């Protein structure tokens, strides 16, 4: 009995010692952090909050383009690419999380993707490769979000006023103004309630898109169902690569380390629970929208499935239904845009903020408001000027999301944990890195080809 009590006392002392170490490490980190990490990447959240952030960054209106990807791939390849995308990204994000947890236990908690690359692959990788690619991906996502938000507003406007004269760029500017207000929320953690609402919104518009597709598909309103692949051999081949880039971008995240940074220490096991929340929503939304949209419209599925609900200005569904669905998209894409603005906010805060002053001191608030407002204004101007930004985003997705989310996580894991070269894990990770590295190159070429083909129709501030 005495021995048992001694063991319990020993374990309790050990737990207390570990807790004190964690507190000391946290306190030590607080003193070492720059203004960007201290104010934007506050480590206060729970695994549930993490689930909200992950869901908003992955389950975004880009999923409404999945039926179009199926139109380029066909039934079998489309479903297989969706299943592969889900499994590989869940696996990759979990590997990235394990590496982050491992480094945190060694006293080196990384709050940024570029810090991870700096520590694992070397300084040049973090500064000249991972950092620039991540900012291109995330800022590109912000521009794309503002453009899509403007398009949703324009759709609602034309349904309510079919003879309206306002142009697309007017709505892009309106949406940019809304984003500018949301951008002033001080930290990633402060978005947790917005991202909870975002989770319900993505479920809502996905359900609406699925229900609308099934309704049109079962009536004579929709096009004649044709699931054949269109175009010549070259068009089909590049179409397949474009579709893979679309699927990869849809599953893309690019901010896993920054999301994990919002977790209060100790972080062990929390990210996995957050990923489980996210991928439950992914499985419900991605598959239902992709399958129902392609079933209803076949190879006539457009780049954004809600566009199929209106033909030559004539809605195939009740106007109120399309208006509400676009309102859900409009509201959620604002949350998505603000999430992807966080890496930019963090750099601005690190450069212009003062970690020794309080977060809401005049010294920090004035540079924060001005720099974030300029950042959103630039993104809004790009979205208004280049309404064909979807083509550019396909290139950013192929060149950015594929390496960040499919290639680097498995490399980080192999370098950090050094699994045996005879193990299944080592060869699986190496295979994924090679396959998706190749797809990154091919996808980038396909995206550039699409930009060149569409260049003749490009016009600045076009009312598309």
pLDDT, tens only, 187-200: 999 999 999 999 99
pLDDT at 456: 76
Supply the pLDDT for residue 390: 66
Mean of pLDDT over the chain: 88
The answer to whether the Cα torsion of 427, 428, 431, 436 is positive or negative is negative
Q: Judge whether 77 and 315 are in contact, CB under 8 Å.
A: no
H helical segments located in 161-298: 168-182, 192-218, 233-251, 256-261, 270-297
pLDDT at residue number 425: 94
Exposure letters 204-222 (e unless 16+ CB within 10 A, then b): bbbbbbbebbebbbeeeeb
When pLDDT is averaged across residues 416-429 and rounded to a whole number, the result is: 94
CA angle 346, 349, 353 (to 5 degrees): 155
Q: How open is the CA angle 138-142-143, to the nearest 5 degrees?
A: 120
Residue 401's nearest CA partner among 342, 430, 443 is 443
Q: Is the pLDDT of residue 24 over 70?
A: no
Residue 16 has pLDDT above 80, yes or no: no
Q: Which residues pair with 263 in a beta bridge?
A: 45
Sorting pLDDT into bands at 50, 70 and 90, what band is 408? Answer: very high
Please answer whether residues 429 and 414 qualify as being in contact, where contact means their C-beta atoms are separated by less than 8 angstroms: yes
Euclidean distance between CA atoms 372 and 12, whole angstroms: 47
For residue 446, name the pLDDT band (cuts at 50, 70, 90).
confident
pLDDT for 26:
41
Residue 25: pLDDT over 90: no
pLDDT at residue 431 tops 80: yes
- pLDDT above 70 coverage of the chain, percent: 92
310 strand-pairing partners: 315
Per-residue pLDDT band for 428 (boundaries 50, 70, 90) equals very high
Confidence category of residue 443, pLDDT binned at 50, 70, 90: confident
Q: What is the mean pLDDT of residues 260-269?
A: 90
1's tokens? 């009995």
pTM above 0.85, yes or no: yes
Please tell me the least confidently modeled range out of 68-72, 168-172, 241-245, 351-355: 241-245
| Residue 294, burial from CB neighbour count under 10 angstroms (0-12, 13-18, 19+) | buried
**Model pLDDT for residues 362-399, shown as the tens digit of each residue:** 999 999 999 999 999 999 999 998 887 667 767 777 88
């Amino acid at each position: 009995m005495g021995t048992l009590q001694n063991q319990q006392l020993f374990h309790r002392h050990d737990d207390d010692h570990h807790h004190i170490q964690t507190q000391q490490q946290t306190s030590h980190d607080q003193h070492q952090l720059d203004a960007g990490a201290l104010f934007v990447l506050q480590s206060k959240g729970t695994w549930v909050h993490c689930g909200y952030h992950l869901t908003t960054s992955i389950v975004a209106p880009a999923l409404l383009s999945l039926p179009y990807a199926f139109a380029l791939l066909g039934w079998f390849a489309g479903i297989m690419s969706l299943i592969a995308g889900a499994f590989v990204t869940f696996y990759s994000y979990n590997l990235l999380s394990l590496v982050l947890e491992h480094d945190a236990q060694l006293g080196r908690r990384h709050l940024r993707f570029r810090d991870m690359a700096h520590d694992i692959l070397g300084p040049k990788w973090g500064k000249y490769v991972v950092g620039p690619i991540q900012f291109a991906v995330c800022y590109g996502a912000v521009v794309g979000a503002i453009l899509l938000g403007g398009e949703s507003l324009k759709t609602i406007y034309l349904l309510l006023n079919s003879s309206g004269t306002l142009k697309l760029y007017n709505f892009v500017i309106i949406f940019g103004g809304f984003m500018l207000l949301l951008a002033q929320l001080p930290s990633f953690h402060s978005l947790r309630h917005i991202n909870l609402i975002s989770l319900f919104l993505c479920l809502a518009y996905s359900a609406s898109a699925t229900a609308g597709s099934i309704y049109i598909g079962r009536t004579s309103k929709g096009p004649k169902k044709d699931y054949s692949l269109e175009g010549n051999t070259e068009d089909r081949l590049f179409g397949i690569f474009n579709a893979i880039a679309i699927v990869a971008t849809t599953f893309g995240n690019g901010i896993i380390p920054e999301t994990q940074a919002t977790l209060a220490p100790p972080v062990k096991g929390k990210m996995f629970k957050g990923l489980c929340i996210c991928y439950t929503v992914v499985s419900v939304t991605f598959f239902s929208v992709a399958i129902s949209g392609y079933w209803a419209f076949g190879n006539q599925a457009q780049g954004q499935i809600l566009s199929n609900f209106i033909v030559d200005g004539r809605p195939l569904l009740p106007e109120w239904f399309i208006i509400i669905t676009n309102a859900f998209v409009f509201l959620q894409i604002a949350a998505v845009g603000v999430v992807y603005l966080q890496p930019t906010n963090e750099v601005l805060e690190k450069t212009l903020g003062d970690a020794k002053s309080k977060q809401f001191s005049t010294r920090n608030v004035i540079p924060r408001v001005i720099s974030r407002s300029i950042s959103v204004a630039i993104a809004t101007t790009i979205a208004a000027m280049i309404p064909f930004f979807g083509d550019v985003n396909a290139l950013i997705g192929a060149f950015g999301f594929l390496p960040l989310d499919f290639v680097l996580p498995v490399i980080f894991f192999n370098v950090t944990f050094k699994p045996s070269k005879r193990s299944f894990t080592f060869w699986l990770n190496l295979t994924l890195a090679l396959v998706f590295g190749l797809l990154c190159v091919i996808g980038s070429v396909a995206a550039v080809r699409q930009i060149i083909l569409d260049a003749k129709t490009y016009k600045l501030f076009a009312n598309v």
